[in-house]
Amino acid sequence: MARSALLNVMTQAAMKAGRSLIRDFGEVQNLQVSVKGPADFVSVADHRAEEIVFKELSRARPDWGFLMEERGIVEGKDPQHRWIVDPLDGTMNFLHGIPNFAVSIALERDGQIVAGVIFNPAQDELYVAEKGGGAFVNDRRIRVSARSRLPEALFGTGTPFLGHGDHAGYLYELRQIISESGGIRRIGAASLDLAYVAAGRLDGFWEKGLKSWDIAAGAIIVREAGGFVTNVAGAKFDHMMGEIACGNELIHKALIAQLGDAAKKRAKARATDSADEA
């Protein structure tokens, strides 16, 4: 594929940060057996990758702002454009030596995501998309899967963890999807889940409690691959709201229906519990 100048800037930044991460990833394996452990080292690797992305993008577009996982909001002179960056999505995987992590970069223009890049350096896979230009992995055009039936569909999701998320509500969703689908995978990096939906490896994905930098790039890649992207209730997707549901047209519709049924079952259970307490 012939990339635009904008996508070239984004891919160069993502790949340079990814090369830094993959060097550090090799060191994590050795740190697993140390007394101190690898957590501090991973934090350094995360910040190092973010600094690389920040410098590369700032040099190319000095007036544009940033929303970054570590650095937070960096105001730019140009109010129309903002980079949204996760320098290491899948930190826990990285920490444990699991090669499922990525650099994620999206471009927001006037509040809308218009370009996205996700790079998994461990697998050497580069996913890119620009509004109206289609989605690609390593210069090969990708499309969402063509499956139409839930029993054949494989879903990705993210699970709440200690101190985060609505554990009880998620269990209702999980039981509902498990009972109707062909299976569920928990990859541990939302950006890669979305990339895999775009590539047809997963048929759908849903998750709540995310940050903009987790899903901004992935959302446009899924859309440019022909997928449908909304919030978990089926309403308009907003990358700043931190939740997403996606898939091809039929699987997405079925997924939204199942999540709706899960919400109803939970509401009924809570009402019953409240009545019993009264």
Tell me the binding residues: 69, 86, 88-89, 214
- Tell me which DSSP letter residue 236 carries: B
Collect all residues with Cβ–Cβ distance below 8 Å to 211 and sequence separation of at least 6.
69, 86, 242
CA neighbours closer than 13 Å in the CB half-sphere of residue 89: 32
3-class SS of residue 116: strand
How far is 61 from 50, CA to CA, in rounded Å?
Answer: 16
**DSSP per-residue letters across 123-141:** TTEEEEEETTS-EEETTEE
Residues making up the annotated binding site for Mg(2+) are 69, 86, 88-89, 214
Rounded to whole angstroms, the Cα distance separating 157 from 271 reads 27
From 39, 3, 55, 46, select the one nearest 21 (Cα to Cα).
46
Instruction: Identify the burial level of 85 via C-beta atoms within 10 angstroms of its C-beta, where 0-12 means exposed, 13-18 middle and 19 or more buried.
Output: buried
Burial status of residue 122 (CB atoms within 10 A of its CB: 0-12, 13-18, 19 or more) = middle
